[in-house]
Structure 1
Amino acid sequence: MSSTTDESTGIWATIKGAPLPVKALLVGVFVNKLGWFLQVFLVLFLTTSKGFTDVQAGTALGIYGGGSVIGLIIGGSLSDKVGPRAAVMISMFGMAAFVLGIAYVPSYTAVLIVVALAGAVGQFYRPASAALLTELTPKNRQVMIFAVYRLAMNLGTTAAPLIGAALVAISWNLLFIGEALAALAYATVAIIALPGRKPPAVADDTVDDTAAPEPKGGYLAVLRDYKYVLFLVCMFINAAIYMQYLAVLPLHMKSEGLSTWWFSAVVALNGFIVITCELLVTKVVQHWPARIVAIIGFVLLGGGLAFYALPGGVAIFVIGTLLWTLAEIIAGPTMFAYPGMAARPKLLGRYVGSAHAMFGLGSALGPFLGVWVWNNAGTRVWVWCGVAGAIGVVLAYFGMSSGADTAAEEPAVDITPASEPLPSESS
């Protein structure tokens, strides 16, 4: 590969060369994640401020997670039907309203309803944002732009608990007001800077009338893409075993007589490496075939978690964490960019939404499965994580493209700016 190509897909070249809507989207997502308080503080709010039991609070958190998975599926369909910009606006305005409602609804039943709606509506934006990044970014820069997108989200979610703790020290209501304002900020970005989509009736006369019609069946059309279904299973497995660092790892370290400080240290090590190194690693691996990147990721993820089964104390936990962290920074951007590469243009939102939903489902079910295996089989849970990683290798080999994806070469969805281009766009 030529050095010119390498430079054109570098970190700063990708950010600088991104159109204004992409830059605005990245800023909007970052600001929105700065206000990501609800999932972090929901249990504390319901137990300390509302007076509900631990079980009731945990149930509410689980319902929020379930609503989030459903919201990702709906968000993908919504993005295809009304366009990413409208889907983001609906998501953020709805999230602002429901988050504020949680603080004021009078009964536990009402809390569950509003929490479920907040979880669902608040996730509409994710498939829409990812679809828009795909539509507006050249193919050779898509993995890098998703790495930048992940960085924006990681920075926001890292800072959010600290900001939330400061707000809670003043008032619980201020916490919910803060999250609502963050959502409204992203909605404002969508209104001002994100592009709208031309309805079919106003498409210009140069459009080829012989082009393939919009595929029928919605998500059923996605499921008919059997190779992509294998990739969706990859996303589920990836998330399910990845989440064991939050579910089983603290239990294992505690059983070894290690303090909570050691667990916090290895989690912080992961976060530090992801934030500081992912873009640099992506600069190299973005040029590799997506299937190869995913296979390497599963080998390192499954191997890193299986490494925890070995005796050796703190060193084993540190080395294992380094291995699966390397998996995250190598494969993460590619795995989340791949749905846009594999999608049929008229189903872009659904392809993206289904991938996010499967990752969300794995994130929700993984901790329950991991703790159950830990309680029944002890450290063998890590061996099973290694086996799951090996299954992921096989699924990635058969389910992902080995080279240039033909579907991704079809024309992107027709979009037009929501307003007149700014001077910086016309240069």
Structure 2
Amino acid sequence: MTDEGKIGVFDTLKSTPTAVRYLLGGVLINQLGAFVQTFLVLYLTHRHMSVQAAGLSLVAYSAGTILGTMLGSEITQRFGPRFTIVAAMAGSGPLVAVIPAFSRSGLLVPLLLVVGLAGLLGQAYRPAASVLLSDLLPERHQVMGFSMFRIALNTGAAVAPLIAAGLILLDWDALFWLDGATALAYAGLAFALLPRQAAPAAATEAADAGEEDADAPAPITGRAAYAAILRDRKYLLFLGSVMLGTLAYMQSVVALPLQIRADAYPTALYSVVLTVSSVVLITCELKVTTYILRIPTHTAVLVGHLVNALGFVGYALSAHSPVYLVAGAVLEVAGVMIAGPSMYAHPATFPAALKARYIGVMQAATGLAAALGPLITVYVWTRLDHGFWMLCALAAAVTGVLAMAGTNRDEERGRAAAHEETAEGKAEETVGGTA
């Protein structure tokens, strides 16, 4: 990055293609109505369904989101990102909107089916959006582009509860009607405004058809692509860091309000922590990313997770003063800003024939860890109390080490460059000897 000069926020914004702005705008619109995962349990219990039924519905939705990212990567690979986004959003909108019609005790099985399919289609667009973003942006702007992608997601996630609070006063069902409407709006915008990109599989086949070399490799199938991922030890380390880091993050989401209550602080303090974290993340991430781009990726992800670990240490000290709690929240979000964009952008650095599947596997790992996190939080926290946060700090530090090892491909690139130089040298010697 340093060879190409410093990359600033306004530099990136000016060079951002119009199609990327449409893509990010659609992500924001969709996220503004993303109420299902947050409010599904509250809604179903409000409709007098049992806690067990509500929990099963949330599990069905979470399972759908995990499968959806894998399905989305396959459809993207075969049919292209624009088609995937349009199809996923057009399918998820009606499914989400009809959830109220199935929210009765006698319709639990149909409800689980509808909610699961809504989760599957609702997340299938994510790999496609990541692929399209990486295809449309120059390499030097991709980390900044994924930072903007994260800001669109986080802005929507921060504003959506405020919209939901108003809708609940009018009609609980309106949560799901608006959620479905925003998904359909995103589908319409994607159909009308996003470019028709060739599917990676079709592009590979076209390139292979144009090769004169009879020994040219055949297009990479899905099975071969996933086999390549399993053989990629560095990427497996990266996936391990993604899962462990997400598990640690989910502990703060679930256990932090419990800790605030146990320390006899007012519930409003949790709102303050969430507000401070959201404001810092949304307003500062792009600027922080401009500095992160000046250091190697593997260094950025290590530093970010170590800062994240310091945030968990602040939570461990929260019994002494709420200042430690707020400071911990700021440090945690600072760590996310430092490591997050590079972590998100890393799967998009792989060749087009593999990229969609690498992205899909990473997002599926994130979804799996996010689903498992709450299942272990309360059990562990009730036994460790403030020591729980030191365990999270240790997990964050280990995550940083795994992420550093998984994203450090300088040695591989060096070997590849050396191989190319050797081959070129031999070719020159041959030409010289012939002459």
When the two structures are superposed, what TM-score results if normalisation uses the length of structure 2? 0.87
Q: Is the 8 A contact 2:204 2:353 kept in 1?
A: no
Among 61, 72, 76, the residue aligned to 1:75: 72
- Which residue in 2 is equivalent to 1:12? 10
Residue type at the aligned position of 1:281: V
- Which residue, out of 218, 221, 225, partners 1:213? 218
> In structure 2, the residue corresponding to 1:172 is in which secondary structure?
coil
* Counterpart-to-counterpart distance in 2, 1:141 and 1:229: 25
Aligned to 1:374: 381
Question: 1:279 and 1:347 mapped to 2: Cα distance?
Answer: 28
Structure-1 separation of matches of 2:204 and 2:237: 36
Q: Which residue of 2 aligns with 1:148?
A: 148
List runs of 5+ in structure 2 lacking aligned partners: 417-435
Q: Pick the aligned partner of 2:57 from 45, 56, 60.
A: 60
2:70 and 2:357 in contact (8 A); partners too = yes
TM-superposed deviation, 1:402: 4.9
Shift of 1:273: 0.5
C-alpha distance in structure 1 between counterparts of 2:141 and 2:77, whole Å:
22
Give the match for residue 328 of structure 2: 320
Q: Which moved more, 1:158-167 or 1:201-210?
A: 201-210
Which of 93, 97, 102 is equivalent to 1:100? Answer: 97
Inter-partner Cα distance in structure 2 for 1:28 and 1:307: 36
Q: Distance in 1 between matches of 2:233 and 2:205?
A: 34
Deviations 1:211-239 (A, max 9, x none): 64332314233222111011011111111
CA distance in 1, matches of 2:390, 2:203: 53
Letter of the 2:101 counterpart: Y
Cα pair 1:235 1:358 within 8 Å, conserved: yes
Aligned match of 2:163: 163
Matched, 1:357 2:352: no
Counterpart position of 2:36: 38
Aligned length: 404
Superposition pairs for residues 333-348 of structure 1, below 5 Å? 333-341=341-349, 343-348=350-355
Residues 58-93 of structure 1: per-residue CA shift (max 9 Å, x gap) = 221122112111111221222111111111111101
Q: Pick from 331, 339, 349: which aligns with 1:331?
A: 339
Residues 6-45 of structure 1 deviation map (CA, whole Å, 9 limit, x = unaligned): 2xx3222222212222111011111111111222221222
3-state DSSP of counterpart to 1:214:
coil
Offset at 1:154? 1.4
How far residue 197 of structure 1 moved from its aligned partner, in angstroms, is 3.4
The one of 235, 238, 241 equivalent to 1:228 is: 235
- 1:202 and 1:38, CA in 2 relative to 1: closer, same or farther beyond 3 A? same
Q: Which has the larger Rg?
A: 2
How far does the alpha carbon of each residue in 1:291-322 deviate from its partner, in whole angstroms, 9 at most, with x for none? 11110111111222133223522122122222
Alignment of 1:87 onto 2:94:
no
Q: Retained in 2: the 8 A contact 1:237–1:392?
A: yes
Please give the per-residue CA displacement for 1:248-267, whole angstroms capped at 9, x wherever unaligned. 11112211111111122112
Q: 1:20, 1:193 within 8 Å by CA — same for their partners in 2? A: no
Tell me by how many angstroms 1:147 deviates: 0.9
Instruction: Tell me which stretches of 4 or more aligned residues in structure 1 moved more than 6 Å.
Output: 1-4
Q: Which amino acid is 1:132 matched to?
A: L
What is aligned with 1:23?
Answer: 21
Task: Using the TM superposition, give the Cα deviation of residue 346 of structure 1 relative to its aligned residue in structure 2, in angstroms.
Answer: 0.5
Residues 224, 196 of structure 1: CA spacing in aligned structure 2 closer, same or farther, 3 A cutoff? farther
SS in 1 for 2:123: coil
Tell me the equivalent position of 1:264.
Answer: 271
C-alpha spacing 1:232/1:52, structure 2 compared with 1 (3 Å)? same
CA-based RMSD of the aligned residues comes to 2.4
| Whole-angstrom distance in 2 between the partners of 1:278 and 1:252 | 27
Q: 1:38 to 1:221 in 2, by over 3 A?
A: same
The whole-number CA distance in structure 2 between the counterparts of 1:344 and 1:203 is 15
Matches within 5 A, 1:301-316: 301-310=308-317, 312-316=320-324
Question: What is aligned with 1:287?
Answer: 294
CA distance in 1, matches of 2:180, 2:282: 26
Q: Distance in 1 between matches of 2:236 and 2:4?
A: 36
* C-alpha distance after superposition, 1:236-291 (max 9, x if no partner): 11111011222111112211111111122112111110011111101111232111
Distance 1:204 1:297, change over 3 A: closer
8 Å CA contact 1:15, 1:23 repeated in 2:
no
| Higher fraction of helix | 2
Once the two structures are TM-superposed, the CA of residue 404 in structure 1 deviates from its matched residue by 9.6
Q: Equivalent residue for 1:278?
A: 285
Task: Pick from 256, 260, 268 the counterpart of residue 253 of structure 1.
Answer: 260
User: What is the percentage of aligned positions where both structures have the same residue?
Assistant: 35
Describe the SS at the equivalent of 1:158.
Answer: helix
Deviation, structure 1 residue 403: 4.2
Instruction: Give the whole-Å Cα distance in 2 for the aligned partners of 1:137 and 1:201.
Output: 20
DSSP-derived class of the 1:257 partner = coil
Query: Structure 2 CA distance, aligned partners of 1:205 and 1:350?
Result: 20
Give the residue type in structure 1 aligned to 2:278: G
Equivalent-residue separation in structure 1 for 2:43 and 2:164 (angstroms)? 12
